[in-house]
Amino acid sequence: MAVGRFYLSCLALGTLGSLCILLTIYWMQHWHSGFAWDSSSRMFNWHPVLMVAGMVVVYGAASLVYRLPQAWVGPKLPWKMLHAVLHLMAFVLVVLGLVAVFKFHNHQHISNLYSLHSWLGILTVFLFACQLFFSLKNTTKPYSSLPAEAVLANSTGLLVVVFVLLVLYILASSWKRPEPGVLTDRQLLPRPFPVAYMPVAEDAC
């Protein structure tokens, strides 16, 4: 049962991660004129997509590599390499996301690193949901009257939060590679039914 719950959680993570990326792409494509690499506002649109893909989805996957039961046995080197590759992928995506926003700012003569969002980049996942309210400017209207863009953006932000919480839940669980020479209860073979122990009186013989 525990193994089934683990893989079910991984399946949920993969689905949520894919939805986060796809909804962010749809948001930028449908309401913000799509993507380009020409220092225009369309170049800025790469920033949220790449940051969500890198800092949230790929980085989350990298942190869970050693929780896979397949990583508990056999040589550790292949799993270390996979862990490193995923981290490198996340780093490259994040760097490209930063390049996109810096080139856009420089082209538009906007100051860099002037906001809390930029200072605390490690908290981008949580600030991602908050900054949607600043760009949409619909805080004075009831939620039922918000435009479709606002509903999509808020829903994407909630999915990101759920994804992060699920990653933290799996990381906090007991699923991890045991130390060399140490077997966990899940890895021990079933023991035969113990034979009843019959005490013998000391003066029996």
Task: Dump pLDDT digits (tens) for 44-101.
Answer: 999 999 999 998 899 899 989 988 888 888 888 999 999 999 988 988 898 899 889 8
- Higher per-residue confidence, 95 vs 124: 95
- Per the prediction, the chain carries an average pLDDT of 79
Axis-axis angle for helices 2-31, 148-172 (nearest 10): 150
Percent of the chain exceeding pLDDT 70 equals 73
Q: Give the pLDDT band of residue 142 (cuts 50, 70, 90).
A: low
Which among 157, 159, 133 is positioned nearest to 146, based on CA atoms? 133
Query: How far apart are the C-alpha atoms of 91 and 51, rounded to whole Å?
Result: 10
Q: Give the pLDDT band of residue 198 (cuts 50, 70, 90).
A: very low
Write out pLDDT tens, residues 104-123: 989 999 887 777 767 666 56
Sign of CA dihedral 119, 59, 174, 177: negative
Q: Give the pLDDT band of residue 143 (cuts 50, 70, 90).
A: low
- Higher per-residue confidence, 145 vs 162: 162
Residue 153 has pLDDT above 50, yes or no: yes
Query: How far apart are the C-alpha atoms of 145 and 41, rounded to whole Å?
Result: 27
Show the CA angle centred on residue 16, arms to residues 131 and 87, nearest 5°. 80
What's residue 32's pLDDT?
Answer: 94
Which among 126, 204, 151, 187 is positioned nearest to 23, based on CA atoms? 151
Which residue stretches of 32-144 are H helix?
41-44, 46-51, 59-63, 77-107, 116-119, 124-136
Mean pLDDT across 5-12? 87
Axis-axis angle for helices 124-136, 148-172 (nearest 10): 170
- The residue assigned the tokens 């082209």 is 107
What is the total residue count of the chain? 205
Query: How far apart are the C-alpha atoms of 87 and 110, rounded to whole Å?
Result: 30
- Please tell me the number of Cα atoms within 13 Å of 184 on its side-chain side: 10
**Of 16-20, 98-102, 187-191, which range is least confident?**
187-191
- Higher per-residue confidence, 25 vs 160: 25
Asked if residues 34 and 45 have their Cβ atoms less than 8 Å apart, the reply is yes
The overall pTM is greater than 0.85: no
Percent of the chain exceeding pLDDT 90 equals 31
